[in-house]
Copies of this chain bind each other. A is one copy, B any other.
Amino acid sequence: MLDSRTQTGNAMAKTVIGIMGPGETATAADCDRARELGRLIALKGWVLLTGGRPYGVMNAALEGAKHVGGLTVGILPSGDFEDASNAVDIPVLTGMGEARNVVNVLSSRVVIVCGMGAGTASEAALAIKTGRSVIFVGVEPTSTAFFSTLGKPIYDAQNPEDAIRLVESIVGEI
């Protein structure tokens, strides 16, 4: 596993990569991509961050990372440890409902958007607003066309491997 320390700012902090996507409404293809993204993030030695709930993209990504021994963080909307996916190592309980979406994106060096829904759209928009780099994977052209109008460049990846190469180049420049 590669070293997970970044070279600037807090020299000790691990590199945390976020995966955002739909929960209960995720498609099978969304979950397959999320699982592979989680696996690849863990293999790079990065920490995986998701919304932490045991559904859809969040859960698949967490499972993918744990399957290869990665470290996982879940930022939960509730204040109850029981609401976290079993694949979360460190549950961060906010008790703040949807306001936790801001924490998800601020805490991620890079935000990967995998699939789409109303909550995911809020996270992609907040990531752009707060200056985080955003990579879309497997997202419909209607969605990427919209997010590309919000004043910041976005990245559109063909597949998980392509997304991880983009993360590497972005993290290398931070």
Contact = CB atoms under 8 A, between A and B. Distances in A.
Which DSSP category, helix, strand, loop or mixed, fits chain A's interface? Answer: mixed
A153 to B, nearest CB: 12
Interface stretch (A34-42, A138-146, A155-163, A165-173): A138-146
A117 interface: yes
Contact of A122 (B9, B16, B92, B129): B129
Interface residues of A, number: 58
A29 interface: no
A2 interface: no
A13 B84 contact: yes
A96 interface: yes
A87 to B, nearest CB: 6
Interface of A: 9-14, 16, 25, 47, 66, 73, 75, 79, 81-82, 84-99, 101-103, 106-107, 109, 116-119, 121-122, 125-126, 128-130, 140, 142-143, 145-147, 149-152
